[in-house]
Amino acid sequence: MKNLKLSGQKAGGERTVVEVGGLRIGEDFVVIAGPCAVETEDQLIRTAIAVKEAGATMLRGGAFKPRTSPYAFQGLGLKGLKILDKARRETGLPIVTEVIDTRDVSWVGEYADVLQIGARNMQNFSLLREAGKSGRPILLKRGMYSTLEEWLNCAEYILAEGNPNVILCERGIRSFETFTRNTLDLSIVPSAKSMSHLPVFVDPSHGTGVLGLIEPMSLAAVASGADGLEIEVHIDPSSALSDKDQQLSPEAFSRLMRKLAVMRKTMAELAGDSFL
């Protein structure tokens, strides 16, 4: 892969650590959890408290939703960001939220600890440049039709603006399969980590769109070497205004977190594989 001047592997194999509110992303395993969209203060705060209790270390929630239909719920905008800010103050969890418009990057960045650039905007080059200029850590989703090389070049756009804090996130790609919403490409995790020093996350919620697949794919993501996960959790999934079928209940999320702890312990043992 040519011209990955800043995103490509460093000579000594050194890996990037992105510092967010006391977390060292890339070193600490981080689970970002929360609803697809911020809907009401009550919904977000109750979800935030529940995911924190279960062990999540960052909170997600979209205030600007990139929806297939212009008539679908588009997010609360500024009101949503204010609710996220309140949830951060109440729980201490840093906030990840998506920005979809170049004109919004700087002011949304004042509310967000991490700005998310979604799959549909991965190659929005002016948005990437603004994200780079903002200096905020960026969670860069993989585009649903994008190769590893295209994805890393998009990270390169952000890094080239002088912002070193980029986290990659696999969220499934389009394939001929229709049983799942997307085809979660876990082989991209060790691939991206072999080509780049940036942390790599996995989003099994958008990656599968199927409730029953989120737990096994989360465990598999850990086995593939992911540095963290982004998972949709809603206090009452059946009432969700977007992505209702893929949001975990707090109980299911809590069970998943307990299994993840076992998986991570096993992976740590395998890393020091002298006993084999």
* β pairing state of 23-25 and 18-20: antiparallel
User: Is residue 141 involved in binding ligand PEP (CB under 6 A)?
Assistant: yes
**Partner from ligand PEP, Mn ion, none contacting 204, C-beta within 5 to 8 A by type:** none
Residue whose entry in the numeric block shows the structure tokens 């997600």? 60
Bridge partners of residue 32, in order along the sequence = 58, 230
For residues 139 and 148, which CB has a smaller minimum distance to Mn ion in the complex? 139
137: its two tokens? 């850590």
Candidates 130, 243, 256, 257; binder of Mn ion (CB under 5 A) is 243
Candidates 88, 136, 181, 206; binder of ligand PEP (CB under 6 A) is 206
DSSP, collapsed to helix, strand or coil, labels residue 93 as coil
User: Is residue 227 involved in binding Mn ion (CB under 5 A)?
Assistant: no
> Residue 251 CB: number of other CB atoms within 10 A?
10
Burial grade of 15 (CB within 10 A; 0-12, 13-18, 19 or more): middle
| C-beta separation of 250 from 43 below 8 A | no
For residues 1 and 72, which CB has a smaller minimum distance to Mn ion in the complex? 72
Q: Which stretch binds Mn ion (CB under 5 A): 158-166, 176-184, 209-217, 240-248?
A: 240-248
Residues 232-271 contacting ligand PEP, CB under 6 A: none
- Nearest distance, CB of residue 193 and Mn ion, angstroms: 25
For residue 204, report the phi and psi dihedrals to the nearest 5 degrees: -80, -10
Task: Identify the DSSP state of 171.
Answer: -
Please identify the residue of the shown chain whose CB is closest to the bound ligand PEP: 118
- Nearest distance, CB of residue 190 and ligand PEP, angstroms: 20
DSSP, collapsed to helix, strand or coil, labels residue 181 as coil
CA triplet 119, 77, 218: central angle to 5 degrees?
40
First to last CA, the chain: 35
Residues 8-67 contacting Mn ion, CB under 5 A: 36
User: Is residue 51 involved in binding ligand PEP (CB under 6 A)?
Assistant: no
User: Is residue 181 involved in binding ligand PEP (CB under 6 A)?
Assistant: no
- Nearest distance, CB of residue 99 and Mn ion, angstroms: 15
Rounded Cα distance, 111 and 163, in Å: 18
CA 258 from chain center: how many Å? 20
- Written as one letter, the residue type at 201 is F
Count, residues near Mn ion per rule CB under 5 A: 2
Residues 95-134 contacting ligand PEP, CB under 6 A: 98, 118-120
Candidates 88, 136, 171, 234; binder of ligand PEP (CB under 6 A) is 171
- Nearest distance, CB of residue 8 and ligand PEP, angstroms: 24
- Nearest distance, CB of residue 219 and Mn ion, angstroms: 21
- List residues binding ligand PEP (CB under 6 A): 36, 62, 66, 98, 118-120, 141, 171, 203, 206
- List residues binding Mn ion (CB under 5 A): 36, 243
